[in-house]
Amino acid sequence: MEALAVRLSGLDPHVEGAIRVVAFYDTLMRRRVDLQALARASAGLAECVTGVLLHGTGRAIRVSPEGTAASAPPSPASSTTPITLDEEEIGTVWLERPGPPNPLDDVLLDRLAIAAAAAVERYGPARTTMADPALVELAISCDSEEAARARALRLLGFAADLPVRVVAVRSRLPLDRIGALICPSRPVKAAPLADVGVILATTVDQSAFPAGVRAGVGTAGSPERSWREARTALRFATPGRPVVPHEGLGALALLAQVSHDAVRDNADVAAIARLAAGAADAADLETLDAYCSTGSLRRAADLLHLHHSSVARRLEQLGKSLDIDLTEPTGLLRARLALTAWRLLDG
């Protein structure tokens, strides 16, 4: 390396300095130093305050050229570079240099970012959103021993005292994008399991799910119970209610425990199935769903963008087809339960 630097410096003096910076960080990486040591060494090399920030933890490290924590208020960064791991930006590094940047600052920050990503991956957990599916499955499986579950959660980046919510997702969107939207500033991990996406998060913003996503959200606490609740809630998700929290189901969650044979044999559910198989099933089911969801003729009409008299005529015909009086509270309850149970047959 030294001989190469000498030869190249004859062509461009800047090259020798860049190679020496690369060699400096190669040495640090071979010594497996942590983020604090990286920031301290970088501040000494750059001769200015150096910072490292991980998005997943929100923890910022600022070190002065003397190797101590920077006590002065942060100055505007003179140069910044993102830290990337597995093609995901997990943080940033920067220099707070007074005056114009040094010609080697870009090289220094580039190597610091690479070394920081290696340190995060080594001392972890890696703050990427996507995770090893086997590790996620170990964390949420009801068959896992508690010690193994705790270790899996720790490797995924969840502290022992943090409650974890599990979200079951069906979507064509990337899971890491969904996870970043619903839990932007706290630990979040995602992985596909069979045909369902799994997201583990400490908090879930249910209003932040993007369009086209159907999701069931388990309660915070035991991951295996939360996963079971999330899968159940996902079965209740519909186009009109794409995100379903398990705690919002109440007694409706009991329907998920009824056997498929019992559901199919029910006369009301069978009537819904015949309606769905009919030629006008899309409009009929949409009307019935709107009415069952709102419990009001006029609100259903607003939802469907139709005149209430048109909805009333549809409901009259639907009532005859189902043999249910939809104008009565009992009839409305029967229709809602039958429609929900029929949907559960297909998950």
pLDDT value at 101 more than 70 = yes
Q: Which CATH number fits domain 2-123: 3.30.450, 3.40.50, 3.30.70, 1.10.287?
A: 3.30.450
pLDDT value at 187 more than 90 = no
**Mean pLDDT within 28-41:** 91
CA distances from 209 to 128, 165, 275 (A): 19, 15, 31
What are the tens digits of pLDDT across the range 326-338? Answer: 989 999 999 999 9
Class in CATH terms, 258-345: mainly alpha
Structure tokens at 226: 């939360």
Quote the pLDDT of residue 4: 36
Answer for the pair 76, 95: CB distance below 8 angstroms, yes or no: no
The larger pLDDT score, comparing residue 14 to residue 91, is at 91
As beta bridge partners, residue 198 has 168, 191
Q: With cut-offs at 50, 70 and 90, classify the pLDDT of residue 58.
A: low
d(CA 161, CA 165): 13
What are the tens digits of pLDDT across the range 288-313? Answer: 988 888 888 899 889 888 898 988 99
Quote the pLDDT of residue 240: 82
Backbone phi, psi, residue 165, to 5°: -100, 145
What are the tens digits of pLDDT across the range 153-176? Answer: 888 888 777 789 999 999 999 998
Structure tokens at 289: 């769903």
As beta bridge partners, residue 50 has 63, 95
**Residues forming CATH 1.10.10.2840 domain(s) in the chain:** 258-345
The larger pLDDT score, comparing residue 13 to residue 91, is at 91
**Mean pLDDT within 111-118:** 94
Mean pLDDT computed over every residue of the chain = 87
pLDDT value at 285 more than 80 = yes
Q: With cut-offs at 50, 70 and 90, classify the pLDDT of residue 123.
A: low
The larger pLDDT score, comparing residue 11 to residue 313, is at 313
**Nearest to residue 291, comparing CAs of 324, 249, 260, 254?**
324
**Residues forming CATH 3.30.450 domain(s) in the chain:** 2-123
Quote the pLDDT of residue 3: 42
Q: β-pairing, 243-245 with 88-96?
A: unpaired
pLDDT value at 347 more than 70 = no
Q: Is the peptide bond before 125 cis (omega within 30 degrees of 0)?
A: yes
Quote the pLDDT of residue 250: 92
d(CA 218, CA 344): 18
**Mean pLDDT within 24-29:** 94
Quote the pLDDT of residue 169: 97
The full DSSP string for 76-138 is: PPSEEEEEEETTEEEEEEEEE-SSSPPTTHHHHHHHHHHHHHHHHHHHS----SB--HHHHHH
